[in-house]
Amino acid sequence: MRIYSIALIFLLFSAVSYGQVTNPETGKVKVVPQDTNVKVLNVPVDTNSKKILVKDTLAHLYNQYHGLLNDDPIYNKKYPWWQPALKVVAQNVLLNLFDHYVLDLEWSRVGINSWKKTATAGFFWSDNWKWDLDRFGNNFFLHPLTGAGYFNAARASGYNFYESMPFVLGGSYMWKMLGETAPPDGKPEREDIINTTILGIFGGEVTYRLSSNILDDRTTGSERFGRELLAGLIAPGRFLARLLQGKVTSVTTAEVYQKEPLDIVLSTGAQVQGTVGHVRLILNADFEYGDPFEQRNRKPYDYFLLRTDVTIGEGRKVIDNITGEGIIYGKNMKVGNTSMLIGVFQHYDYWDSYNFELATVAFSGGILSKLAVAPNTNLYSNLHIGFVPFAGNSRESGPDTTQSRDYYFSMGAEAKLEVTLNYQGVVSATLLGYYYWLNNVERPLYVGRPQNDFITVLKPRIEFHLFNNVGIGFEHLIYVDNRNFTDNSTSSYTSKTQEKLFLLIYLADFLHNR
């Protein structure tokens, strides 16, 4: 009773500066602020007792006057579960219709006969499921994009990170059971469930956070159109939810989405393919969301890194590299001059180059640190050791240009180390190291298939700040793969390199860039 009384007094005190008008049709109290700089609120009311929902209202008032630590709970209310579920169904139906009638893909012709086959498939690790022959980008890039749409259908309907997960798994299963036929035998493919679900959660939260930093429901006109368009391209599932909720055109007078500091580094230049000598144009965008060394209570993805490389040249390989990591649970510490973030992270690594194909889904324990070694000079480190529940890596002959599978499915472990010395904002030297142990999961294993892969990727990199927000950099990539085959009598060794020379544009403080 004491807590309720205090909350009630707080609300009554707040009402001194607000005029309240009850809408008899909706059963909501429209709280009209006297200060026009504060948002007009629609505070939910229990239509039976007419009691204001105290928790959400207090959270809203805290957000408005102390900064948004969460999406505003009044504007971004939690909808009944069946509404985001219907949005997931709508995404699958629209995707199937597009594949069938626009792309005319054979496996999109579904019906009673195909559903009878998939309905009895059972758990995705049973013999009624199979490993498919789709190319690398389809399994490890396009399927996660679909899962991100499922995730954002729930996230944009007021569900938090954990509450949105079941919608991704449900959407994945629905698609495999009802959305495609999986020729020639009709068995659904198990890796699609894994990638769509786990990587869909990663991609969904990252795109939700990035689109929140773009969206501003206070804006109108051409600025609002541009923001909605860009956010919709980043998170289509969220755009669909906002469209159905009427938020695409609604206007507020205060911020309603959590936003964190976002550092963006854009670069362009040339990539040279080792001894082959092929030169290709590269475009890169690196994102650092949130401050890892801010003392705060941590929620999933309050901090994440995302690095993307696009290669423009011959052939179909365009998305060259994506690496990302997001905090799931963590705690900040400070020891002397060293600031640290210690926690559990989710990872997505994706290489689809002409040299090699490699993709991993991982969860790690990690430590991020920042040590001030001199005035305006910092040493950053980022260490992770984790479990890889699923991965794909190219065959020993390397990737090819066919549309069928040229890689193995695996699981295992990984370790990552990134060390950066930033000297007075003038020069930044970085060493990135990745080590993967991958064990083939395609059973039974036959002679000629690797039992284990031991992969090392090293990326020394140096950047020079030229003037204003412009810099120049060089990166050298070394890829080494040692394979042990099933007969234990043979092994293979592969080593490849890439070089990149690029021009950078920093869209944030250079000293904060890593």
Indicate if the pLDDT at residue 48 is higher than 80. no
Cross-strand pairs, 452: 439, 484
What confidence tier does 355 reach under pLDDT thresholds 50, 70, 90?
A: confident
- Cα torsion angle, 441, 447, 449, 450, sign: positive
The reply to whether 87 and 160 lie within a common domain is: yes
Cα–Cα distance between 416 and 457 in angstroms, integer?
A: 10
Domain assignment present for 254: no
CA dihedral of residues 96, 97, 103, 108 (deg, nearest 10): 40
Residues 162 and 301 in one domain: no
Instruction: Give the range of the structural domain holding residue 277, as residue numbers without chain letter.
Output: 262-506
> pLDDT confidence of 448, banded at 50, 70, 90?
low
Band the pLDDT of 183: cuts 50, 70, 90. confident
Q: Is 71 a domain residue?
A: no
Same domain, 346 and 464: yes
Structural domain contains residue 51: yes
More confident residue, 361 or 51: 361
Q: Are 208 and 311 in a shared domain? A: no
Find the mean pLDDT for residues 115-143.
86
Query: What confidence category does residue 56 fall into, taking pLDDT thresholds of 50, 70 and 90?
Result: low
pLDDT at residue 227 greater than cutoff 80: yes
Return the pLDDT at 280. Answer: 87
- Predicted local distance difference test score (pLDDT) of residue 111: 86
Angle 198-325-438 from CA coordinates, rounded to 5°: 65
Residues 238 and 281 occupy one common structural domain: no
pLDDT of residue 275: 61
Name 132's Cβ contacts closer than 8 Å, sequence gap at least 6. Answer: 139, 182, 189, 191, 192, 405
Residue 36 confidence (pLDDT) above 80: no
Do 300 and 223 lie in one domain? The reply is no
The mean pLDDT of 110-131, rounded to a whole number, is: 83
Q: Which of 141, 481, 195, 196 has the alpha carbon at shortest distance from 316?
A: 141
Whether 169 and 267 map to the same domain: the answer is: no
pLDDT value of position 42 = 42
Spatial contact of 292 and 303, defined as CB atoms under 8 Å apart: yes
Q: Are residues 46 and 113 in the same domain?
A: no
Determine the pLDDT at residue 485: 81
Q: Tell whether 103 and 40 lie within a shared domain.
A: no
One domain, residues 370 and 424 = yes
Is 365 or 112 the better-scoring residue by pLDDT?
365
What is the band of 59 on the pLDDT scale with cuts at 50, 70, 90? low
User: Of the given ranges (22-31, 123-132, 381-390), which has the lowest mean pLDDT?
Assistant: 22-31
pLDDT of residue 25: 34
Residue 72 maps to a domain: no
Task: Taking residues 181-195, report their average pLDDT.
Answer: 85
Bridge-partner residues for 382, per DSSP? 368, 418
Q: Specify whether the CB–CB gap between 381 and 419 falls below 8 A.
A: yes
User: Residue 446: what pLDDT?
Assistant: 64
**Confidence at 11, pLDDT banded by 50, 70, 90:** very low
Q: Could you tell me if residue 74 is inside a domain?
A: no
Q: What is the pLDDT of residue 400?
A: 74
| pLDDT at residue 156 greater than cutoff 90 | yes
Give the domain CATH number at 386.
2.40.160.40
pLDDT confidence tier of residue 26, bands split at 50, 70 and 90: very low
**What value does the mean pLDDT of the chain take?**
83
Confidence of residue 487 (pLDDT cuts 50, 70, 90): low
pLDDT in tens, 100-120: 899 888 888 888 888 888 888
- Which band of pLDDT confidence, cut at 50, 70 and 90, is reported for residue 171? very high
Our count of domains for the chain comes to: 3
**What is the reported pLDDT for 19?**
32
Which backbone phi and psi does 206 adopt, to 5 degrees?
Answer: -60, -50
The predicted model scores a pTM of 0.84
Is the Cα dihedral 78, 79, 82, 87 positive or negative?
A: negative
Residue 283: is its pLDDT beyond 70?
yes
Q: Are residues 270 and 410 in the same domain?
A: yes
Cis peptide before 450 (omega within 30 of 0): no
User: Does residue 354 carry a pLDDT above 50?
Assistant: yes
Name the domain boundary from 214, 245, 276: 245
Q: What share of the chain is helix, strand, coil (3-state, %, to 5)?
A: 30, 40, 30
Predicted confidence at residue 269, as pLDDT, reads 94
Q: In whole angstroms, give the CA distance from residue 228 to residue 242.
A: 10
Residue range 330-334: average pLDDT? 95
Say what the pLDDT of residue 315 is: 64
In this prediction, residues 336-361 reach a mean pLDDT of 94
Whether residue 253 is contained in a domain is answered as: no
Q: Does some domain include residue 90?
A: yes
> Among residues 66, 93, 114, which one ends one of the domains?
66
Cα→Cα distances 9→4, 15, 35, 56, 346, Å: 9, 10, 21, 16, 43
Residue 18 is predicted with a pLDDT of 31
- Give residue 24's pLDDT: 32
Residue 60, pLDDT score: 53
Work out the average pLDDT over 2-24.
Answer: 34
The C-alpha atoms of residue 28 and residue 46 are separated, in whole angstroms, by 8
- 31-35, 38-42, 314-318, 435-439: least confident range: 31-35
Domain shared by 147 and 21, yes or no: no
For range 57-62, the mean pLDDT: 51
Q: What is the pLDDT of residue 314?
A: 61
| 204 in any annotated domain | yes
**More confident site: 171 or 68:** 171
Which of 179, 212, 245 is the last residue before a domain boundary?
Answer: 245
What pLDDT band is residue 325 in, cutting at 50, 70 and 90? very high
Task: Compute the average pLDDT of residues 45-50.
Answer: 39
